[in-house]
Amino acid sequence: MLPLVDYLIETFGSGPVFAMVAAFGAWVIWFIWPKAGDAVEKINTDEYLRLSENPHLLIDVRTPEEFAAGHAPQAINVPLGQLMRSDEKKLTATIGSKPVVCICATGIRSAMAAKRLAKLGYSNLHNLKGGMSAWNAARLPEKTNA
């Protein structure tokens, strides 16, 4: 068994007290412990179009090469590695207080970026499901740096 479980069984036994402690621990982990991923709303391209009617920031977290090959016209490129290493002051200067939508090729790296921003205390965060693949499938405009 896991060392923590062994310790709890040894300390509290395996009876009703153990069950109560285990239930309380599960409740704390589930409801109290902050989950950064919960602060991120996954949106599709239709939802993005509605959100984009208001000021927002679209952050493309792909590599500069991927970004140059084709990106949303209003996107800024902040590669995931750079975003993960950036300090809060630098990010605040870039992001401000606008809603943020993160995008990548498929939605995986952008989900990681949005979770990082959530852990830093940003709110109103969105991840575009399907990333640029969904963007292109919806035939939304694309710009290249050629």
Q: Which of 104, 114, 118, 132 is catalytic?
A: 104
58: left (phi over 0), alpha (psi -120 to 50) or beta: beta
Residue with tokens 């409801």: 31
Q: Give kind and range of the element (H or E) at residue 95.
A: helix 88-95
How many CA within 13 A on the CB side of residue 75?
31
Per the annotation, the verdict on 102 as an active-site residue is: no
Residue 130 carries which DSSP code?
A: T
Q: List the one residue out of 83, 143, 135 whose CA is nearest residue 111.
A: 83
Q: Give me the DSSP letters along 40-88.
A: EEEE-HHHHHHHTTS--EEEE-S-HHHHHH-B-TT-EE--HHHHHH--H
Query: Which residues are designated catalytic?
Result: 104
